[in-house]
Structure 1
Amino acid sequence: MMISAATPFNLLEQDLLLLPQKAIYWQQQKALIIADVHFGKVGHFRKAGIAVPLDMEQSDLATLSDLIHEHRPEKLLFLGDLFHSDMNNDWDWFILWRSQFPQLQIILIKGNHDIIADSHYERLNIRLHDELLLGPFLMLHHPLPDIQLQTAAGYVFCGHIHPGVNLNGRARQSITLPCFAFGNKQAILPSFGKFTGKVAIRSQQTDQIFAVLKDKVIAIA
């Protein structure tokens, strides 16, 4: 197992580690925070007759297991879109994975793709919420527009849009990398799942943007 090179980030007197696996470890809460895993997306596409490598789903589960073994969290917070769309055979892999961490508290903030019956999660001892205030942070799936952020109960952590940042090289090369985007009142996390895209976001000068490379996270702005 490779030990990740984490980037420390202090926010509202809370100590966060930004991880190149596109997750955050919140030290005070001993919690891993992850957005947009989209387990089951491989099975969803294969069910529709689209050829996708079978091992892609297991790779995400293996990465998540490595993070748990490395950081020893007490909580695992999924910020929505944990399982992609309707039930398929990939759920069996998730059941097996869950059985390896029976003492881990798992919380799912439901996203727009989390459409399978709540009972499936409840049987795996996974708590479900539409939103959750934990310390100074309000856990959501969808980002809030500016007008709603003014009255939000806490600093928002969310996902949904799979944020990326464009980097340009001297020879006119351009690449879009996943990123963590911290605004004045809201942080948008990159999508954890490997079988997901990313969208370059527009940031304000006051935002703090961290690009995710293969083995490290670097500050861009």
Structure 2
Amino acid sequence: MSAGTPFNFLDQDLLLLPQKAIYWHQQNALILTDVHFGKVGHFRKAGIAIPRNMEQDDLAMLSDLVYEHKPEKLIFLGDLFHSDMNNDWDWFVLWRSQFPQLEIILIKGNHDIIADEHYTTLGVILYKKLVMGPFVMLHHPLADTTQAHAEGYVLCGHIHPGVHMVGRGRQSITLPCFAFAQNQAILPSFGRFTGRVAIVSRKTDHVFGVLKDRVIAIA
């Protein structure tokens, strides 16, 4: 079972999961971003030795989340697939066949360059942005000057956020994080084969670091 951290935000009940996803109770939906399926195949095609099982591990984790939370909707905030179609697409097709009743929504990101018809054939609904409840779903974060003019509180991804922490012995680590600012939240990247960028937060932000088996409040 997922040791998620409950977070009531804008009168919505969110569960922040250590698998780097959000379960949204009111919509019975799982939200995640930057899976980057196909990245392993992309690098292997270029002759870079990457373990083949990384893609299957991400799909297995996604399956576990679906079985555990039984969502009606699965919302990807962009960069579901990393690049042009490769052999890893077949794994995603097989995975999709296991959950034919699950509504899958993709907010297209800059890496989502596969032709739309391949997604729609699998019943994946495509958007550039989506307003749902108090949230507007995007891939790219909005600039500070435009956030207040959005159609709702922004949920997005793209930058693979991390929070930098320094211990008493000066050891340091950058943890993936959920970063909720005044008008916009940036979700951590779901995919294992992704990096992270330490972000600068304000004192009024809510930042949650992601450990292996739990999510902890940082600020």
TM over 0.5: yes
What is the distance in 1 between the residues matched to 2:20 and 2:10?
21
The runs of 5 or more residues in structure 2 that have no matched partner are none
What is the distance in 1 between the residues matched to 2:67 and 2:30?
12
Q: Percent of pairs identical after alignment? A: 75
Offset, 1:44 = 0.3
Offset, 1:147 = 1.2
What is the distance in 1 between the residues matched to 2:153 and 2:216?
22
Q: Deviations over 1:130-169 (max 9, x none)?
A: 0000010000000001111111000000000000001111
> 4+ residue stretches of structure 1 with deviation over 3 A?
none
Q: Deviations over 1:44-90 (max 9, x none)?
A: 00010100000000000000000000000000000000000111000
Which residue is 1:197 aligned to? Answer: 195
Which residue is 1:127 aligned to? Answer: 125
The amino acid of 2:61's aligned partner reads: T
Q: Secondary structure at the match of 1:60?
A: helix
What is the distance in 1 between the residues matched to 2:4 and 2:170?
30
Q: TM-score, normalised by structure 2?
A: 1.00
The amino acid of 1:143's aligned partner reads: P
Q: Which residue of 35, 38, 45 corresponds with 2:36?
A: 38
What is the distance in 1 between the residues matched to 2:190 and 2:93?
19
Which residue is 2:185 aligned to? Answer: 187
What is the distance in 2 between the residues matched to 1:46 and 1:11?
41
What is the distance in 2 between the residues matched to 1:103 and 1:31?
13
Q: Which residue of 148, 171, 174 corresponds with 2:172?
A: 174
The amino acid of 2:23's aligned partner reads: Y
The runs of 5 or more residues in structure 1 that have no matched partner are none
What is the distance in 2 between the residues matched to 1:166 and 1:33?
24
Q: TM-score, normalised by structure 1?
A: 0.99
What is the distance in 2 between the residues matched to 1:187 and 1:27?
17
Offset, 1:42 = 0.2
Which residue is 1:88 aligned to? Answer: 86
Q: Which residue of 49, 54, 58 corresponds with 2:47?
A: 49
**Within the alignment, does 1:18 sit opposite 2:3 as a pair?**
no
Q: Which residue of 138, 148, 151 corresponds with 2:149?
A: 151
Offset, 1:199 = 0.3
Q: Count residues in correspondence.
A: 219
Q: Which residue of 74, 77, 80 corresponds with 2:75?
A: 77
